[in-house]
Amino acid sequence: MRIDERIASRHRDLSPQERRAAATLLEHLDDLATYRAAELASLAGVSKATMSRLFRSLGYADFGEVREQLRESRHGGEPRLLRGGADLPAHLAREAEALRRAVEHPALTPAVELVASARRVLVVGWRNSHPVALHLRQQLAHVRGDVRVAPVPGQVLGEELADVGPGDAIVLVGFRRRPAGFGAFLEAATETGAPVLLLADPTAIEHARRATLWLECSIATELAFDSYAAAMSLVSVLADGVLTACGQGAQDRISGISRTYARLAEIEA
C-alpha cells in the first residue's frame, strides 16, 4: 500500500500527534522523498520521536523505507514533484542518451524490414502510448497502404485482430503504466500468427519475451513526468527506414497524397 493509503486505513488508530504528523505527510506527498525525517517533524510541529512512531504505526521500519517506496513509484511512471526545480542540463543529457540508444538499437533494422514487407500493419497503443501509436500510423500511412490504428473510440480490439494473420504485422506500443489487459492482448496478438513488434520502455521486459521484436526506448527523465521525445523520434526513424525500404512506390504514394491535399484544399499553402 502507498503511504497515503496506509494513513487512510490506520488514521483512526493514530494518536493526535501522529495524526498531525500524518497530515503534514499528505500535504507534502508530491515531494515527500526530497525531505529528511527531521525536516518533516519540524514542519508538523512534532518531535522526531513522534514522526518515527508514525512511520512504524504505518508499517514502515523508518523514513528510509518510505523514501524507497516513493522512488520505486516514480520509476514506475508515477509523477513526483522534484524539490528545488528541474535539473534541465541533466534532463537534456538523459533525453539525448535515450534517443541515441533507441536509434542504435539492433532490432531497428529488422523492425523496418518487418513493417515495410507486411501485407497490412495494425498499430496498437493505450493511454500515453496511444499518441505514439497515432503518430506512427500517420507517418506510415504516407509511405505504404493498409495501416490501421487501434483502439478507436468506442470500440474494442477483438474485431481488429479478426482480420490479422500470417503476412501481416502488429506494432504494439506499450510504455509503462500499461492497462491491466496488456499481457492478454499481446498473447492474443501472437496467436494470430502475425509477427509482433513491441515498442516499449525497459519495464516491458517480461512482455518482450512473447514479442517477435522489441524496440526498447527509455522514457524516464530527471523531471516529475515521463518524456516521450525519444519515442516520437524513434517513430520517425522507423518510418524513414520504411520509406527507404519501400522505394519508388512510397515516393509515388506521397506524391499522390500531396495532390489530393491540394485538390481538397486540406493543407495550408
Contact 140, 246 (CB under 8 A): no
Q: What is the mean pLDDT of residues 220-236?
A: 83
Mean pLDDT for the stretch of residues 156-180 = 90
Give the integer Cα–Cα distance in Å for 204 and 217: 10
Nearest to 41 by CA among 58, 30, 28: 28
Task: For residue 75, name the pLDDT band (cuts at 50, 70, 90).
Answer: low
The answer on pLDDT for 144 being more than 70 is yes
Alpha-helical (H) ranges within the chain are 3-10, 16-27, 37-44, 48-57, 63-75, 88-103, 108-117, 129-143, 158-162, 182-191, 205-208, 229-264
Q: Which pLDDT score, from 0 to 100, does residue 245 have? A: 92
Whether 86 shows a pLDDT value over 60: the answer reads no
Q: Give the whole-angstrom CA distance, residue 265 versus residue 114.
A: 34
Cell of 120: 497490412
| Residue ranges of domains in the chain | 3-75, 90-264
The label of the residue with cell 521525445 reads: 229
User: Residue 142 has what pLDDT?
Assistant: 92
Residue 85 has pLDDT above 60, yes or no: no
**Residue 216 backbone dihedrals phi, psi, to 5 degrees:** -85, 130
Q: For residues 216-223, give the mean pLDDT.
A: 78
Handedness of CA 103, 108, 113, 116 (dihedral sign): negative
Strand bridging mode 169-173 / 196-200? parallel
- Determine the CATH number of domain 3-75: 1.10.10.10
Length of the chain, please? 269
What the block records as the C-alpha cell of 187 is 498473447
Integer CA distances (angstroms), 20 to 26, 37, 225, in order: 10, 14, 30
| CATH top class, domain 90-264 | alpha beta
CA atoms within 13 A on the CB side of 194: 28
| Torsion from C-alpha of 160, 164, 170, 175, nearest 10 degrees | 30
| 130-168 residues labelled b (16+ CB within 10 A) or e (exposed) | bebbebbbebbbebbeebebbbeeeeebeebbeebeeeb
pTM confidence score: 0.70
Neighbours of 17 (CB within 10 A): 17
Q: Is the pLDDT of residue 77 over 60?
A: no
CA atoms of 185 and 157, how far apart (whole Å): 8
Q: Which of 52-61, 65-74, 156-165, 202-211 is predicted with the least confidence, judged by mean pLDDT? A: 65-74
